[in-house]
């Protein structure tokens, strides 16, 4: 545990509107080691972005509130730091690439000035030195330095995302949070941005928390994965655990909904039903209403976390039944041997 850079313990986040409480994040725990990449995967509404915002204490209050847990970064609980301490952490030690580059940049500032502002704030550089480093950062992410004085509207979506990456990495953070960094981009540009993030991660020796709904992206970039559903992490492990030894029915459903170029099918197999209402979560498993393995006790009983093998965690009463099921065997055959 001594090399854990980030340790999230029993994090709870709720949004309130009148008497209604939205249970966005429900006691999740995970850790990221120095230099490690963790993929946080789940459907829209699973609580992935709320988790990232909670780590940086950017939850808008009201209506949101962090109601429990700890976020330990480099041995300090970020939830107990004063706001002045968090301002030193944000953008400096922990940076975030936000989900939509189209709206994350200031439209009335040049892209170079936006990078330089971060450098001046956290690294106390002069205006001249900050401008030089900002140009270097633009070059590093594949944008000519002479475009320093251009505005966001003069850049394509992929170029704006590169600017966001340059801002996030300008202070050499030890942890980078990337919130669906390729969602708004076409497939070709997605690959370029992911390659860039992976290259810069190695170059800067930065840990990465990658938030996505794309399991293919996780396989390319991350060493470990956490599958999130209705505010809970339902399965956690390395790529071999998640891709070759899937034990949660929700994770199985995600894999079955991915198209396979080796199969001729007329229709993809979706996960039946809708995600559980976060204002009325069941006492037991939130996935039970959509689960093919459920029985009467799944919705009523609290679900413990099992560890079938070291480092592989699953929150399901039926994991041993799933382990030997024909459905899992078909999934393994379908995925082949891409994950060693």
Q: What are the structural domains, with CATH classification, of the chain?
A: 4-222 (3.40.50.300), 228-335 (no CATH)
| 231, 275 Cβ separation under 8 angstroms | no
pLDDT band with cut points at 50, 70 and 90 for residue 224: very high
Q: Return the percentage of the chain with pLDDT > 70, whole number.
A: 96
pLDDT band with cut points at 50, 70 and 90 for residue 2: low
| 237, 216 Cβ separation under 8 angstroms | no
pLDDT for res 1 = 45
Residues with Cβ within 8 Å of 143's Cβ and at least 6 positions away in sequence, in order, are 111, 159, 162, 163, 166
pLDDT for res 62 = 86
Question: Which residues, listed in sequence order, are joined to residue 147 by a DSSP beta bridge?
Answer: none
Helix (H, G, I), strand (E, B) or coil at 330: helix
pTM exceeds cut of 0.85: yes
Q: What is the mean pLDDT of the chain?
A: 89
Q: How many helices (H) and strands (E) does the chain have?
A: 12, 12
pLDDT for res 334 = 66
Residues with Cβ within 8 Å of 278's Cβ and at least 6 positions away in sequence, in order, are 22, 23, 24, 45, 230, 231
For 291-329, write each residue's pLDDT tens digit: 989 888 888 888 999 999 999 999 999 898 888 777 777
pLDDT for res 199 = 85
Q: Mean of the pLDDT values across residues 138-164?
A: 92
Q: Mean of the pLDDT values across residues 222-234?
A: 96
pLDDT for res 79 = 95
pLDDT band with cut points at 50, 70 and 90 for residue 51: very high
Question: Which residues, listed in sequence order, are joined to residue 232 by a DSSP beta bridge?
Answer: 229
- Cα 279-179-96 angle, rounded to 5 deg: 115
Say whether pLDDT at 183 is over 80: no
Q: Return the percentage of the chain with pLDDT > 90, whole number.
A: 57
Best mean pLDDT range from 76-80, 156-160, 330-334: 76-80
Q: Which residue has the higher pLDDT, 101 or 205?
A: 205
pLDDT band with cut points at 50, 70 and 90 for residue 52: very high
pLDDT band with cut points at 50, 70 and 90 for residue 184: low
Calpha distance 282→217 (Å, rounded): 31
Provide the CB-side half-sphere exposure for 62 (13 A, CA): 6
| 98, 167 Cβ separation under 8 angstroms | no
Say whether pLDDT at 197 is over 70: yes
Distances (CA, A) of 206 to 33, 47, 48, 283, 323: 10, 24, 20, 39, 35
Peptide bond into 19 cis (omega under 30): no
Query: Strand 76-77's sheet: what is its strand order?
Result: 20-33, 4-17, 64-73, 76-77
What Rg, from alpha-carbon coordinates, does the chain have?
Answer: 21
Q: Which residue has the higher pLDDT, 37 or 325?
A: 37
């Amino acid at each position: 545990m001594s090399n854990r850079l980030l340790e999230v313990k029993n994090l709870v986040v709720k949004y309130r509107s009148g008497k209604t409480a939205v249970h966005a994040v429900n006691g999740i725990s995970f850790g990221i080691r120095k230099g490690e990449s963790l993929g946080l995967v789940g459907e829209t509404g699973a609580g992935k972005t709320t988790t990232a915002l909670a780590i940086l204490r950017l939850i808008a209050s009201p209506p949101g509130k962090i109601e429990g847990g700890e976020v330990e970064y480099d041995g300090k609980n970020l939830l107990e730091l004063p706001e002045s301490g968090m301002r030193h952490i944000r953008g400096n030690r922990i940076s975030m690439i936000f989900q939509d580059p189209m709206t994350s940049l200031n439209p009335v500032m040049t892209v170079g000035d936006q990078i330089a502002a971060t450098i001046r704030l956290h690294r106390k550089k002069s205006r001249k030195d900050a401008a030089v480093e900002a140009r270097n950062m633009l070059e590093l992410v594949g944008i000519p330095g002479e475009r320093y004085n251009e505005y966001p509207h003069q850049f394509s979506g992929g170029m704006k995302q590169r600017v966001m990456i340059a801002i996030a990495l300008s202070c050499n953070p030890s942890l980078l949070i990337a919130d669906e960094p390729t969602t708004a981009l076409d497939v070709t540009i997605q690959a370029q941005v992911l390659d860039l993030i992976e290259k810069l991660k190695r170059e800067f020796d930065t840990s990465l928390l990658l938030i996505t709904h794309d399991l293919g992206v996780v396989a390319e970039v991350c060493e470990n994965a956490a599958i999130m559903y209705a505010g809970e992490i339902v399965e956690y492990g390395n790529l071999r655990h998640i891709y070759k030894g899937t034990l949660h029915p929700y994770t199985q459903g995600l894999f079955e909904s991915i198209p396979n170029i080796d199969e001729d099918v007329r229709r993809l197999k979706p996960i039946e039903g809708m995600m559980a209402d976060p204002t009325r979560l069941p006492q037991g498993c939130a996935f039970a209403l959509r689960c093919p393995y459920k029985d009467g006790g799944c919705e009523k009983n609290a679900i413990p976390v099992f560890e079938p093998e070291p480092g592989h965690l699953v929150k399901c009463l039926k994991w041993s039944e799933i382990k030997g099921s024909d459905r899992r065997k078909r999934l393994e055959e379908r995925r082949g041997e891409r994950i060693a």
